[in-house]
Amino acid sequence: MKKYNTSPISGMQELLPSAQATFDQFKSQIAEVFHRHGFQNIETPTIDRTDILLAKAGGDTEKQIYKVVKTAETATEADQALRFDHTVPLARYVVEHENDLPFPFKVTQIGRNFRGERAQKGRFREFYQCDVDVIGRNQLPLEYDADVIVTLYTALQAFKLPSMCIRISNRKILNGLLDSLQLTTQSAQIFNIIDHAEKVPASTTQASLVELQLNPQQIQTITHFIDLNGPRTSIITQLKQDFPAAMEHPIFQEGINELDQVLQAIECQIPQPELAIADLKIVRGLDYYTGTVFETFLSDYIQLGSICSGGRYDNLATHYTEHRLPGVGGSIGLTRLFYVLQASHLLQDYITQPLDYVIIPLSADCTPVAYQLAANLRQRGYSTDILFSHKKYSDNMNYASKVAKQAITIGAKELAEGQYSVKDFASGAVQSHQLPAELRLAE
Amino acid sequence: MKKYNTSPISGMQELLPSAQATFDQFKSQIAEVFHRHGFQNIETPTIDRTDILLAKAGGDTEKQIYKVVKTAETATEADQALRFDHTVPLARYVVEHENDLPFPFKVTQIGRNFRGERAQKGRFREFYQCDVDVIGRNQLPLEYDADVIVTLYTALQAFKLPSMCIRISNRKILNGLLDSLQLTTQSAQIFNIIDHAEKVPASTTQASLVELQLNPQQIQTITHFIDLNGPRTSIITQLKQDFPAAMEHPIFQEGINELDQVLQAIECQIPQPELAIADLKIVRGLDYYTGTVFETFLSDYIQLGSICSGGRYDNLATHYTEHRLPGVGGSIGLTRLFYVLQASHLLQDYITQPLDYVIIPLSADCTPVAYQLAANLRQRGYSTDILFSHKKYSDNMNYASKVAKQAITIGAKELAEGQYSVKDFASGAVQSHQLPAELRLAE
């Protein structure tokens, strides 16, 4: 017999049923919040045209994309590939169906994406992302930046994550600052250095800026800038006071005003505004963001990285259409979040047995009543299994304790008395119940 | 500007938001029924090892499988591929996690599978399948055959499909019959002819059997056999009476007893037993079924083919383990079912607007109240959007009518009176409502 490797491919998440039940519950709670906040769900195909997927991409994305081939093709010929995020297929979808969509189009996508990354802890090659986006036609009010953040915040709140904090900035502020410092040509490198600033000591960030040949004044300005974080009013005041030269710059001003407005709109909508703060270190690695940017951390687990991020992009679909489609969006990395909770031993609090009841008929003549009791319980919304087994009682109870919260046993003697017995596994309590009148034996 | 083709790849389903909302509702209704019937959900990775996926396959499957490659590989080297059904990954999963699973393992999988079929009407290259399976260790009572069928039947009942009928047989009956007719060597071809019998005239079936050099007596026996269909008691009686020679054959007898027991167990559990009948024409094309087999048709749309089918297989995972893991399972082809309903103009009855409310603040000073009213409605479970727009009133109402059942407008004048106005799009009615006390202006 050929020996097969039956483990899932490395980088793929595969859960046992009880963990899967918790994962599914997370997913449906997120979907439920997105829906309640007025986002409409769509699904794009997993497989799309390679040229569409790679129109804007480059670098890592091009290296990581999975191509899809039939029997005779090679990867270089492959004109089909697996989507690596929801944003590119969304751009295609909006262009394709533009005339049939309402704008602003508030849309959510929850599904699996694929990246052939080097497998390592917490990095997945197949992973769920839960996206919300709002796409406007020609223009899109700033209120939607807040709408996206509030929706994602509310979805995450459902998990009672410890020490969650959303950190928000606006790229225009840094762009204006760098322009006022005459550093526009080096801005890509500086964005990159700031993006990594949290993961390295301050001295490394300093050294990187020195390496770029910035003068001490410029370096001091930038390091002071990225250290700013906190509640809206104090940060907006500090930005206006501490950077008088930049305040002359219209983009710097515009960025501050936008950040102020977005944070104000968030304050109106969430019960704990201190959990959504300004943080000027947030820039987001990807290049397509143009205004608001945000990332979400668990403050006690900063090293685990962001679990939810996004921002504003001026034009979703530049490559596919000449129409202007500004958007704002964000995404919860659910597979990653789930892994993080598991690795931090926070997950056990969420896990429960998947089913409500297992009914165990103790002899064949009890089966018809078991069927009817199951139908009765299911109609009332309880998940109910009937165990058919020739094994011993203790084995059957053991099975039931693994899949359900309670076991119901029906034996001939109890049946004659119109009763059944319920064992609750959490408390260990066993109780006798009367069968519903219509299920009692006629005699 | 390069011209991109923004349509989805042929054979991929892509829905507009309102149709998607209906599709999602179908999917969650099915999942809910599976759960209530005691099946635990799992998800296997979309990508799996090619040798695992193709261990048993051959023929069409091998031609249709999508291989997955990174930059430099060719399809022939590809050791990873997209799953084409849920059964093969389930076999791998059960072998991999055997020690951590409860047996009988009642499991459901709802997800997308992939086959590079020639694109044609109603055939999809990416499609949802909703599977239930019960896997035993060493043995698996016959009650689970009924359990799978009852669960699938209940899930489909939720859609109030017109003229749905589940047609059930047992392969042992035909195997026993063919053996008693000394036709075992031709059995694969005869199974194939019977599998197609419904799609061609009776004369074509006759001709195919003649071509196989069956004698008139054999042909008469087989054509009489496959014409048998109807309620349990009459079919069981007919089988016993009309095939006295076959009744000497233990496998024929065993098949009849199994079919009788499965149908009886179904009768105990479904309100309309006449919708689950015996039909000896049902054999199922795939070769791995060993006992119970079933298919589901809409009697008024027979030409659309089966929307839900499955059966019993003696050993799920022969290729990956020497342990005996008998199983029974079935699957609803949701993408196909949805397409069928759409093509038969039955879908419109299910489609509704995705959201409950769109709130339209008529001026900026109404926004804070809009936020609070939205929070209030969302807390009560209503999906609620706030529209921010600088367009005219009529454009805004038009937007609302496209995405929601009702529009709420809040203007400064009404606000001063502690009121808001609700328009119901179905009836056209407009009503004034009092704002909840806590949302009224302080003055």
Tell me what percent of the residues of chain A surpass a pLDDT of 90. Answer: 72
Residues near B233 by Cβ (< 8 Å), separated by ≥ 6? none
B345: exposed, middle or buried (Cβ count in 10 Å: 0-12, 13-18, 19+): exposed
Task: Quote the minimal CA–CA distance from A221 to chain B in Å.
Answer: 37
Answer whether A274's CB lies under 8 Å from A233's CB.
no
**What pLDDT was estimated at residue B1?**
66
Residue in B closest to A112 by C-alpha: B46
B residues 219-258 near A, CB within 8 Å? none
Is A63 close to B71, i.e. CB distance below 8 A?
yes
Helix (H, G, I), strand (E, B) or coil at A297: strand
Question: A240-271 burial, b if ≥16 CB within 10 A, otherwise e?
Answer: eeebeebbebebbbbbbebbbbbbebbebbbe
The whole-angstrom separation of Cα A23 and Cα B32 is 16
Answer whether B309's CB lies under 8 Å from B83's CB.
no
Interface membership of A385 toward B (CB under 8 Å): yes
Q: Residue A104: which of B364, B389, B394 has the closest Cα?
A: B389
Q: How confident is the model at residue A443 (pLDDT cuts 50, 70, 90)?
A: very low
Residue A378, pLDDT > 70, answer: yes
**What pLDDT was estimated at residue B58?**
64
Tell me what percent of the residues of chain B surpass a pLDDT of 90. Answer: 72
Strands in B40-41's sheet, in edge-to-edge order, are: B40-41, B105-114, B126-135, B327-333, B308-313, B292-298, B164-170, B276-279, B229-230
Average pLDDT over residues B87-105: 95
DSSP state of A104: S
CA atoms within 13 A on the CB side of A321: 18
Residue B442, pLDDT > 60, answer: no
Answer whether A62's CB lies under 8 Å from A54's CB.
yes
Average pLDDT over residues A251-265: 97
Q: pLDDT per residue over B18-43, tens digit each?
A: 899 999 999 999 999 999 999 999 99
Average pLDDT over residues B352-367: 89
Q: How confident is the model at residue B422 (pLDDT cuts 50, 70, 90)?
A: very high
B residues 269-328 near A, CB within 8 Å? 269, 319-322
Residue A433 belongs to what H/E stretch?
A: strand A430-434
Residue A104, pLDDT > 70, answer: yes
Is B69 close to A67, i.e. CB distance below 8 A?
yes
Is B41 close to A24, i.e. CB distance below 8 A?
yes
Q: How confident is the model at residue B302 (pLDDT cuts 50, 70, 90)?
A: confident
Interface membership of A3 toward B (CB under 8 Å): no
Q: Residue B168: beta bridge partners?
A: B278, B294
The DSSP secondary structure of B43-56, one letter per residue, reads ---SEEEHHHHTSS
**Residue of A354 and B10 predicted with greater confidence:** B10
For chain A, the average pLDDT equals 91
Average pLDDT over residues B181-187: 94
Write out chain A residues lying below 8 Å of B82, CB-based. Answer: 68
Write out chain B residues lying below 8 Å of A107, CB-based. Answer: 17
**What pLDDT was estimated at residue B443?**
40
Is B66 close to A63, i.e. CB distance below 8 A?
no
Interface membership of A368 toward B (CB under 8 Å): yes
- Identity at B249, one-letter amino acid code: H
A residues 53-72 near B, CB within 8 Å? 55, 63, 66-72
Give the nearest partner residue to A126 out of B47, B97, B125, using CB atoms: B47
Q: How confident is the model at residue B401 (pLDDT cuts 50, 70, 90)?
A: very high
Write out chain B residues lying below 8 Å of A102, CB-based. Answer: 399, 402-403
The whole-angstrom separation of Cα A46 and Cα A129 is 13
Interface membership of B433 toward A (CB under 8 Å): no
Residue B240 belongs to what H/E stretch?
A: helix B232-242
Residue in B closest to A378 by C-alpha: B36
> How many interchain CB pairs under 8 A, A with B?
268
Task: Quote the minimal CA–CA distance from B396 to chain A in Å.
Answer: 10
Is A95 close to B20, i.e. CB distance below 8 A?
no
**What pLDDT was estimated at residue B405?**
94
Residue A59, pLDDT > 80, answer: no
Residue in B closest to A387 by C-alpha: B104
Give the nearest partner residue to B9 out of A49, A67, A388, using CB atoms: A49
Chain B interface, mutation test: which of A16, A28, A68, A319, most B Cβ atoms within 10 Å?
Answer: A68
**What pLDDT was estimated at residue B435?**
85
Q: pLDDT per residue over A14-56, tens digit each?
A: 999 989 999 999 999 999 999 999 999 999 999 999 999 988 7
Is A112 close to B46, i.e. CB distance below 8 A?
yes
Q: Which of A346-350, B217-221, B316-320 has the lowest mean pLDDT?
A: A346-350
**Residue of A150 and B300 predicted with greater confidence:** A150
Interface membership of B99 toward A (CB under 8 Å): no
Q: How confident is the model at residue A58 (pLDDT cuts 50, 70, 90)?
A: low
Q: Which of A233-237, B132-136, B209-213, B346-350 has the lowest mean pLDDT?
A: B346-350
Is B75 close to A72, i.e. CB distance below 8 A?
yes
Interface membership of A165 toward B (CB under 8 Å): no
